[in-house]
Amino acid sequence: MSKDREKAIPRTRLGRFGRVARMAGGVAAGMLSEGAKQLAKGNRPKVSDMILTPGNAKRVAKQLSAMRGAAMKVGQLLSMESADFLPPELADILSQLRDRAFIMPRQQLVQSLEEAYGEGWEQRFTNFDYTPLAAASIGQVHRATTLEGDEVVLKIQYPGVAQSIDSDVDNIASLLRVSRLLPKHVDISELLSDAKKQLHEEADYLQESKYLQKFSDVFVEDSRFIVPNFYPNLSTKTILVMQFIEGTPIDGIDKLVNIAPSSIDRLMGDLFSLMLTELFELQLMQTDPNFANYLYQESTGKIALLDFGATRKFTKKFSIDYKRLIRGVIAQAPDQTLDAAERLGYLLNQSSDEYQDFLVQIFNVALESFQEQGVYDFENARLSERLSQLSEQAYDFKEFWQTPPTDILYLHRKLGGMLMLATRLGAQVDVNSMVQPYIATLK
């Protein structure tokens, strides 16, 4: 990664608040500049027109990316399902945060390693690669070799991230409100409260190690998947050490010379099966749709499952109610679909019939692969195009819109990633036959 992707993470609450203050100042300066331009042209601009400019969009996205942690994660969460109901300019700001993160400068990286291991941390490894393999909102990943010769990866948490979660979330929410970047009708209080809880868990690498072990135990004898070994003697609350696994990122397997279309279909089917197992059997799901979290091992034909930081626990009730939603879609029964949506937390009592019809359309398209009997052709289904066409209507219903129930938001984050991957790979999968045994258990 190049030097221009390096930026030190502010460690203290004051330092992180300073980022927010500078962001707000930059937005205000951008407003004044845009207002002056419009007045010079003889126009009388509205406040919203001056706020939601491309320049302000870049300012906000850059500062949130530089802060990482909760600030960046809030932006990612809001971009998942709420984007259709937000002004296009704000949706664009948030969408930039999905795959964007700066990396720590080497000096700050070394400081983080010394705080976790103490001075002389290098003596724990025969080799350490200072260039990260990946960087995300909570931490970045580095490759190393243990004294025993094992190839491992270290997931190293950004300094100050865990301690600043609550204040970061509150500061960003205040900025979005005060600056009017977030429309008045959008209530994100419940989402933010739940996001704090989830982020505290994601920032606890000892908790993540328990999820890693849980998935390892579940799939230890499953010939389709491999879960990396955990190294407890090298792991701390802020550094998680796992086995390094060679493989091809799953979204690039169609470029492999020896991969057949039938193998792609099989692998994609395995991932859909994994998602259904997580939701309906384990009630425990790795919800990060980042394709780099899945590697294809050409030598074994297995899929490696790499990252469990965004693991989400679901209640049994939620699992059952989502079965009801899928059953309503499969049966093409709008009343059943809406009843299940209400059970899941959608507030529909005071919404219009038109909005309810629109919501049913969204579910029907998003879950169409569950509905169609036989093999579903993702490449020719044009799901993204059709959902985009529907999303153009979404802002018309803004008075009825609510932040999606948080469990739904995380689940659909994973589902959306699966649909996107299946489309990109041109997979053909019989998803309906996979979900039918689960639906059959409903009373």
Q: Which residues are catalytic?
A: 288
Calpha distance 206→101 (Å, rounded): 23
∠ CA(339), CA(344), CA(347), 5° rounding?
A: 70
Question: Are the beta carbons of 211 and 284 closer than 8 angstroms?
Answer: yes
Which position has the token pair 């036989």?
A: 374
* Residues 272-301 as b or e (16 or more Cβ within 10 Å = b): bbbbbbbbbebebbbbbbbbbbbbbebeee
DSSP string, 75-108: HHHHHHHSGGGS-HHHHHHHHTTSS---B--HHH
Q: Compute the radius of gyration of the chain from its Cα atoms.
A: 23
Report CA dihedral (181, 166, 410, 406) to the nearest 10 degrees: -80
- Give the number of other Cβ atoms within 10 Å of residue 145's Cβ: 15
Calpha distance 230→319 (Å, rounded): 29
Calpha distance 395→108 (Å, rounded): 43
DSSP state of 114: H
168 closest CA partner among 69, 102, 98: 69
Calpha distance 34→269 (Å, rounded): 51
Structure tokens at 380: 């020719």
Question: Are the beta carbons of 117 and 102 closer than 8 angstroms?
Answer: no
Q: Using alpha carbons, list the distances in angstroms from residue 18 to 21, 24, 305.
A: 5, 10, 38
DSSP H or E run through 432: helix 431-439
Calpha distance 357→308 (Å, rounded): 36
